[in-house]
Amino acid sequence: MMQHVDRFLNRFTMYRLTLYYLAALLALGFGLSFFGVVSGGPVAVVSTTGILLASCWLANLLLSRIWKVRANPESSLITALILALISGPVSVLADPRHAAVLALSGAAAVASKYLLAFRRQHALNPAAFGAFISAVAFGTYATWWVGNAAMLPLVAVGGFLLVRKISRFRFLGAFLLAFVVSMAALSFAQGLSLGMVLQSVGFVFRQSALVFFAVVMLTEPMTSPKRLALQVLYGAIVAFLYQPLLTMFGQNLTPEEALLVGNLFSFFVSPSRKLKLSLKGRKEEGTGITSFTFPRPPAFSYRAGQYMEWGLPIRRADSRGTRRYFSLASSPTEPDLLIAARIPTDPSSYKEALERLSVGDRILAGELGGDFVLPRDPRVPLAFIAGGIGITPVRAMIRHMLDTGEGRDIVLFYSNRTEQEIAFRCVFDEAARTAGLHAVYTLTDLARVRPSWCGGRGPIDADMIRTEAPGYASRRFYISGPPAMVNGMKAVLRSMGVHRGNIRSDSFTGY
């Protein structure tokens, strides 16, 4: 079942999926407004959406020209649709002042991406900032009408797909748990019974915008921490501030205010930067696999195994957009940044643009993050399981181990269809000769395996792991590759008795 879900999700970028999700919610709200379920009526829903789309688009176009950067229309459209779902629907003719405030809030939201930014990274959630300005400057507060109970099924189903796409279920779960615990604690402190607490929690989930807030705005990658530990702390802070029973300075914080406080926390503890990089070189690493090298900027640091978002200026992008996440295949000990991608015979517009890059061409990289990194204790025995292009973060970690002279007990399982597709083999062979790495290469296209092949045959399975990785039950496993392969290997390891806490994964969706 989940394989079909992942296959569907791989057709879209996170931005395009979010855009479609928000548009579907507005379409549902429009339909419900005919029956009075959503207040304001259909004219007000359409009017509000139109005003915000126009103001956000125009503000983004103007500011991008002033700042001399390429405008990202998807980003401004997403901001507009979020504001349309949380701002009270209004008719232009019935309330022109409110309509003007809506336009200004949309412009303020987009402006925050340019004015409140550091190293090309905006600090605050734009929609939350626009709603905050509307309230503070004009006394017009967001109604969060998307929290209507009739819209909850679509909010929940679409939200599940969105969080699945960005792989942030643990982040979401930590926030919701912190919210329930905080609400229960505040309720008991005010003398409420357990039954009343349970009713209150249920009411908030059904009749407020909590779920929408969590899946769309809280987990948004640009303004939230990139490491899980900080995400949990960030979620706990926002969950506590979001509480309807919490008063500060004699009043409750609005959802947007709670989120903005969390954004500031994230900005200071998890700083990010965007890099303009020029292509230095390229190399074929295996059949259909090309690596791209970029000079590493001064003072840029990262941990082996982390990833970045890479954006290309594509005029007519397909549904999968102009950005991709790639793991850094280079070690922090190397002078250049290295990424690698599989270029299919019928590539997406992004892969086609990437393939056309020439030396000196620019690419924009940012959003450094990820917890798929080596444990700090070198005594922990490890096992890497990689499929295809999923080998890139493993290459970074093994190269780092070689360059630092750090000895670790590591078994590498690397699966490909053919021998010619094995990428970065020289690095792993060097580690096998000098650092004790035990590398197991296995091929799945049995019809094309040469008779003299000495490696494994067929997919990685439990028998192969038992044979090649002694003491597997105590090892920490790192799985990297397509979602179906990652999920399948997780199931295999758990069936073998490997504890869930000893399994790390890094899914390569849509590559």
Q: What is the pLDDT of residues 259-277, one digit of tens each?
A: 999 999 999 998 877 899 9
Split at pLDDT 50, 70, 90, the class of 336 is very high
| Average pLDDT of the residues in 316-334 | 89
| Average pLDDT of the residues in 120-147 | 93
Query: Please, what is the average pLDDT of the chain?
Result: 93
Question: Given a cut of 90, is residue 119 above it in pLDDT?
Answer: no
Q: What is the pLDDT of residues 77-95, one digit of tens each?
A: 999 999 999 998 988 778 8
Split at pLDDT 50, 70, 90, the class of 120 is low
**pLDDT reported for residue 117:** 79
Question: Given a cut of 80, is residue 229 above it in pLDDT?
Answer: yes
How many helices (DSSP H) and strands (DSSP E) are in the chain? 17, 15
Question: Given a cut of 70, is residue 70 above it in pLDDT?
Answer: yes
Element spanning 447, H or E: none
Question: Given a cut of 80, is residue 508 above it in pLDDT?
Answer: no
Which among 345, 362, 351 has a CA at the least distance from the CA of 324? Answer: 351
Partners of 383 in the β-ladder: 411, 477
CATH of domain 382-507: 3.40.50.80
Structure-token match 């973060």, residue found: 393
Distance CA(122)–CA(246), nearest Å, equals 28
Distance CA(327)–CA(382), nearest Å, equals 19
Q: How many CB atoms lie within 10 A of CB 300?
A: 13
Which among 8, 16, 87 has a CA at the least distance from the CA of 50? Answer: 87
Higher pLDDT, 299 or 445: 445
Q: Is the dihedral of CA 225, 291, 411, 492 positive or negative?
A: positive
Q: What is the pLDDT of residues 149-205, one digit of tens each?
A: 999 999 999 999 999 988 899 999 999 999 999 999 999 999 999 999 999 999 999
Structure-token match 């070689």, residue found: 402
| Average pLDDT of the residues in 396-417 | 96
Split at pLDDT 50, 70, 90, the class of 110 is very high
Question: Given a cut of 70, is residue 377 above it in pLDDT?
Answer: yes
| Average pLDDT of the residues in 348-375 | 93
**pTM: predicted TM-score of the whole model, two decimal places:** 0.87
| Average pLDDT of the residues in 117-145 | 91
Partners of 337 in the β-ladder: 294
Cβ atoms of residues 261 and 248 within 8 Å: no
**pLDDT reported for residue 482:** 86
Which among 10, 1, 327, 4 has a CA at the least distance from the CA of 166? Answer: 10
Q: How many CB atoms lie within 10 A of CB 268?
A: 9
Long-range contacts of 90-98 (CB under 8 A, 24+ apart): 90/40, 90/44, 90/47, 90/48, 91/40, 91/41, 91/43, 91/44, 91/47, 92/47, 92/51, 94/44, 98/140
Domain boundaries, the chain: 2-269, 275-369, 382-507
Distance CA(370)–CA(389), nearest Å, equals 17
Q: How many CB atoms lie within 10 A of CB 314?
A: 17
Question: Given a cut of 50, is residue 511 above it in pLDDT?
Answer: no
**pLDDT reported for residue 296:** 96
Question: Given a cut of 60, is residue 509 above it in pLDDT?
Answer: no
> What is the 8-class DSSP label of residue 251?
B
Question: Given a cut of 80, is residue 113 above it in pLDDT?
Answer: yes
Q: Is the dihedral of CA 52, 57, 63, 66 positive or negative?
A: negative
Looking at the chain, the whole-number percentage of residues with pLDDT higher than 90 is: 78
CATH of 275-369 given 2.40.30.10, 1.10.10.10, 3.20.20.140, 1.10.3720.10: 2.40.30.10
**pLDDT reported for residue 510:** 46
| Average pLDDT of the residues in 467-480 | 95
Distance CA(169)–CA(370), nearest Å, equals 14
Distance CA(469)–CA(493), nearest Å, equals 12
Question: Given a cut of 90, is residue 341 above it in pLDDT?
Answer: yes
**pLDDT reported for residue 8:** 87
In order, the DSSP letters of 353-419 are HHHT--TT-EEEEEEEE-S----S-TTS-EEEEEEGGGGHHHHHHHHHHHHHT----EEEEEEESSG
Question: Given a cut of 60, is residue 130 above it in pLDDT?
Answer: yes
Question: Residue 412 is encoded by which pair of tokens?
Answer: 């590498």
Single-letter code of the amino acid located at 185: A
**pLDDT reported for residue 432:** 95
Split at pLDDT 50, 70, 90, the class of 251 is confident
Partners of 292 in the β-ladder: 282, 339
**pLDDT reported for residue 313:** 86
Split at pLDDT 50, 70, 90, the class of 378 is very high
3-state secondary structure of 297: coil
Question: Residue 66 is encoded by which pair of tokens?
Answer: 């002033």
